[in-house]
Amino acid sequence: MNERFERAPVGMVTVTDDGTVTAINDAAADLLEVDAEVSSAPIEAVFPASVEDFVPSAFVDGEPDESSTEEYYPELDRWLSVSVVPGDERATVFLSDESPRRARERETDQLRAELDRLALLNETVSTVLDDLVGASTRKEIAETVCERLGETELYEFAWVGEREVGGDDIVVRASAGETGRTYEQVRENLAASATTPERQAVETGTPQAVRSIADAESVPESVRRAAFADGIQSLLAIPLTSGSRVHGVVGVYAADPDAFSPREESSFATVGAIAGFAVDAARNRTLLSSNTVVELTVQLSDTADPLVAAATELDADLDVEGVVPQDDDRLLAYLTVDGAAPTQLEDAFSDAGAASLSRVVENGDDGGTAEVGLAAETALGTFSAHGGTVRSAAFEPHRGRITIDLPPEAEIRRVADAVTRRFDAEVLAKRQRERERATATAFRDELRDRLTDRQETVLRTAFLADYFESPRGSTAEEVADALDITGPTLLYHLRTSQRKLLEEFFDLGDAADADANVDDS
């Protein structure tokens, strides 16, 4: 009996009816972390304290009843399954360690909760993205984001802010949810002098997560105190971005300290990017659909802009023929240089950083054309980042003049301030004008007027012969044979007619229509 007792795979403790331990096997001694040689010790000395003190309580009234339970023993950091089996004048207490099973169950529960939360998050994010597609104004975009995030069971409240017109303070555009005292203190700390996660998100263009507001030095003390009183423990500041441009910020606050995992940060970064894209799309949609536009003309008197600086250094005039936005928020600008060789732009831009000569298109000792890369920090880049369409831009020594088109609903002062805050600049004119509208038929008639009969014939023949398909249905030689002209003559007519069409489409003004004397035979 003693050998079987000692070698039993479960813990066993024999206890008299009055609660005195008479024997304990090695398995029980290991579980209870006591000496296996213990004897004649009170049950309380062998079993550490637990919430219910199940084992000692079983012997309070003498002979115990048969019973069992599972209890957590803090001193042991262990869950034990305990069974009391009465016998003749003594009982046996059986023990087994349930900690591994409990840990697995806890992990399973955590994973299940995380999956449920992730499913709810994905549903929320999907709803936000779907609703953003239908938002047509900046106000609707802000309200959509706030309502969908601030009114879910995941978060306490959300708000959207952007830089104040003419200053660096952040102003609230919309909010939703149980805002309470925390939101009031957040609003009190939106001045430019305050350091907050939301401001960091605007300045860096990256999400800022705070998983313990109470311990975060980046959160103002008044906000920390209010959050503690409201039971809010974490926040995520999401920039509304479009490329490198930051249109505003969303602040999301939660009671759960684990509300913003890296996975959620990634999901919200997508929300910020889509919302920023929606802001740009709303601007463009308004500009395209509006019958009127606001024409804003600004004069620069500041060599901090690289084009003014280059014109000053070269003592030349730089006229912008057109700009093409790039995916990285840079612009490709095509310049006509008058008074210097375009190759000299490379040295003129060497110290600017915000501009670079991409290539020379046409070079001459006293002029030509060049392709130039411009960063978002330049005057043209700033206007483009704020939804302006560059209508014209000319730079000469010590000054430049830029005219842009904006939708009538645009915050004109905000756009102008974006440049005047950064450069020595002034607004020369602001006027609203009617946009020229043309029917499709009128547009086609205008194009035909710009083409000679021969150019239209060549272009139509090449089109119908699938010359412009990929892969081509006909080669240049085959089209030229069909028209009974030479290959170089065909290519000349194609290039000339295509240029005329593109000039009309891109509204680049009237181009010289004189045709060179080329043998059509």
Q: What are phi and psi of 497, to 5 degrees?
A: -70, -40
Shared domain for 146 and 283, answered yes or no, is yes
CA-to-CA dists, residue 320 to 245, 336, 355, 390, angstroms: 23, 6, 14, 9
Sorting pLDDT into bands at 50, 70 and 90, what band is 509? very low
Residues 307, 268: one domain? no
How far does Cα 367 stand from its chain's mean position?
43
Q: Is residue 216 in some structural domain? A: yes
Condensed to tens digits (0 to 9), the pLDDT of residues 349-375 reads 876 578 888 888 888 888 998 889 888
404 and 449 both lie in a single domain: no
The candidate with the shortest Cα–Cα distance to 501, out of 453, 456, 434, 469, is 456
Q: How far apart, in Å, are the Cα atoms of 23 and each of 3, 50, 323, 482?
A: 12, 22, 91, 111
Same structural domain, 228 and 312: no
Token pair listed for 274: 């889509």
Q: How far apart, in whole angstroms, are the C-alpha atoms of residue 39 and residue 460?
A: 109
Per-residue pLDDT tens over the stretch 473-493:
888 898 898 888 998 999 999
The CATH number of whichever domain residue 79 belongs to comes to 3.30.450.20
Neighbours of 335 (CB within 10 A): 27
Determine the Cα angle at 69 with ends 83 and 61, to 5°: 70
The pLDDT score that the predictor gives to residue 517 is 39
- On the question of pLDDT at 287 being above 50, the answer is yes
Higher pLDDT, 191 or 65: 65
Q: For position 437, what pLDDT does the model report?
A: 56
Strands (E), 234-326: 234-242, 245-254, 292-300, 317-325
pLDDT given for residue 328 in this prediction: 62
Q: Is 514 within the bounds of a domain?
A: no
The string of pLDDT tens digits covering residues 320-329 is: 988 877 766 6
Nearest to 237 by CA among 268, 283, 281, 276: 268
* Domain final residue, candidates 434, 466, 488: 434
Q: Is the pLDDT of residue 128 over 80?
A: no
CA distances from residue 121 to 114, 150, 268, 301, 505 in whole angstroms, order as listed = 10, 12, 10, 50, 45
> What is the structure's pLDDT at 165?
57
Q: Say yes or no: 131 and 251 in one domain.
A: yes
Q: What per-residue confidence (pLDDT) applies to 510?
A: 43
Query: Among the listed ranges 125-139, 244-258, 289-303, which one has the minimum average pLDDT value?
Result: 125-139
Number of domains in the chain: 4
- Boundaries of domain holding 474: 440-505
What confidence score (pLDDT) does residue 232 get? 93
Looking only at the bridges linking them, the beta strands covering 317-325 and 292-300 are unpaired
- Tell me if 493 is assigned to some domain: yes
- 449 and 307 in a common domain: no
Q: Decide if 519 is inside a domain.
A: no
pLDDT of residue 396: 94
Position 223 scores a pLDDT of 93
Backbone angles phi, psi at 446, to 5 degrees: -60, -40
**Tell me, what CATH number does 449's domain have?**
1.10.10
pLDDT number for residue 515: 41
Tokens of 316: 């030349």
- Is residue 310, in this structure, part of any structural domain at all? yes
Where residue 274 falls among pLDDT bands split at 50, 70, 90? confident
Q: What is the pLDDT of residues 16-42, one digit of tens each?
A: 988 899 989 989 999 999 888 877 889
What pLDDT sits at residue 520? Answer: 42
Residues comprising the chain, all counted: 521
User: Does residue 52 fall inside a structural domain?
Assistant: yes
149 token code pair: 């995030």
Any idea what the CATH number is for the domain that residue 148 is in?
Answer: 3.30.450.40
Domain C-terminal end among 97, 119, 134 = 97
Q: By the 8 A CB rule, do 355 and 349 touch?
A: yes
- 378 and 403: one domain? yes
CA 106, CA 113: separation in Å to the nearest integer? 10
Band the pLDDT of 197: cuts 50, 70, 90: very high
| b/e map 192-215, b = 16+ CB within 10 Å | eeeebbbbbbbeebebbbbbebee
pLDDT, position 327: 62
CA–CA dist 10, 27 (Å, integer): 6
**pLDDT over threshold 80, residue 155:** yes
* Region of residue 115 (phi > 0: left; psi between -120 and 50: alpha; otherwise: beta): alpha
Residue 36 and residue 166 in one domain: no
Judge whether residue 311 has pLDDT over 90.
yes
Are residue 182 and residue 269 in the same domain, yes or no?
A: yes
Strand partners, 300: 400, 425
287, 320, 344 - which closes a domain: 287
Q: Are residues 133 and 28 part of one domain?
A: no
CA–CA separation, 394 vs 319, rounded Å? 4
Same domain, 413 and 445: no
User: What does the pLDDT read at residue 508?
Assistant: 53
Same domain, 428 and 483: no
Position 198 pLDDT exceeds 70: yes
Residue 521, in any domain of the structure = no
Residue 25 Cα distances to 35, 69, 412, angstroms: 10, 20, 85
> Average pLDDT over the chain, rounded to whole?
83
pLDDT of residue 387: 72
The answer to whether residue 27 is domain-embedded is yes
Identify the band that residue 333 occupies on the pLDDT scale cut at 50, 70 and 90: confident
Distances (CA, A) of 180 to 11, 38, 92, 225, 484: 54, 59, 58, 12, 82
